[in-house]
Amino acid sequence: MSYQHQYVDGTRIHFPLGKVVCIGRNYAEHAKELDNPIPSEPLLFIKPGSCVVPLEGGFKIPTDRGSVHYEAEIAVLLGKPLSTHPTVEEVLDAISGYAPALDLTLREVQATLKEKGLPWELAKSFDGACVLPPFVSAGTFDDLADIGIRLTINGEVRQDGNSALMLNPIVPMIQHIAGHFALQPGDVILTGTPAGVGPFNVGDELVLELPGASRFEGRVL
Ligand code: ZN
């Protein structure tokens, strides 16, 4: 199924999907669970738009390259370009919506790449490596430092975080990213995963939520 940005009410968002900019180790408890040091500046990587699939109807995971870990993350959709050093107001004005996303990771592949000091694309950018449900509008949240993110698998809550726990909060993070490379309408920022990551199995039934704002059901095919 091909992916197109849309809002939860079914409205299609006119700008095309761009790139997905991700931040690693943005929650201290998650850095700790993978035995990673907390970075002194945000650790960034990019997933190409080609790896994004919709949550609706279920999604496939690779079964021939070791475990595929789920990372539930607050996704921020941009509707305006941002570059150089945008102000707080410019960043807030550029945000079009929020969704609970899955940053899928081939964990053993990533461990091997990390050990060798190689880039992460083989572990993070495979087809289907980013799962996105529809977005709620930017006005949904008054306080960007209080957005929850929760993933439930087969009835059990596995990840339950809040943007309050981010090492780099949403707006300064986007300012930092835009200071390094241009962001365009249709780009998505994945803001890091809280603790509780683990492997998906084919057949898993999941619920992905921004608690109080949006809730989606999905399935690993
Ligand atoms: Zn992630």
* SS3 annotation, the chain: CCCCCEECCCCECCCCCCCEEEEECCEHHHHHHCCCCCCCCCEEEEECHHHEEECCCCECCCCCCCCEEECEEEEEEECCCECCCCCHHHHHHHEEEEEEEEECEEHHHHHHHHHCCCCCHHHHCCCCCEEECCEEEHHHCCCCCCCEEEEEECCEEEEEEEHHHECCCHHHHHHHHHHHCCECCCCEEECCCCCCCEECCCCCEEEEEECCCEEEEEEEC
Write out pLDDT tens, residues 166-192: 999 999 999 999 999 999 999 999 999
As for how many domains the chain has, the answer is 1
The pLDDT-based confidence of 1 (bands split at 50, 70, 90) is low
Residue 13 lies in a domain: no
- Ligand 1 center from residue 142 Cα (angstroms): 24
Write out pLDDT tens, residues 12-65: 998 999 999 999 999 988 878 888 888 888 899 999 999 999 999 999 999 999
Residue 14 lies in a domain: no
Write out pLDDT tens, residues 73-102: 999 999 999 998 899 999 999 999 999 999
- Ligand 1 center from residue 45 Cα (angstroms): 9
Neighbours of ion ligand 1 (CB under 5 A): 71, 103, 193
Write out pLDDT tens, residues 107-158: 999 999 999 999 999 999 999 999 999 999 999 999 999 999 999 999 999 9
Q: What CATH number does the domain containing 137 carry?
A: 3.90.850.10
Per the structure, the complete domain to which residue 64 belongs is given by 20-219
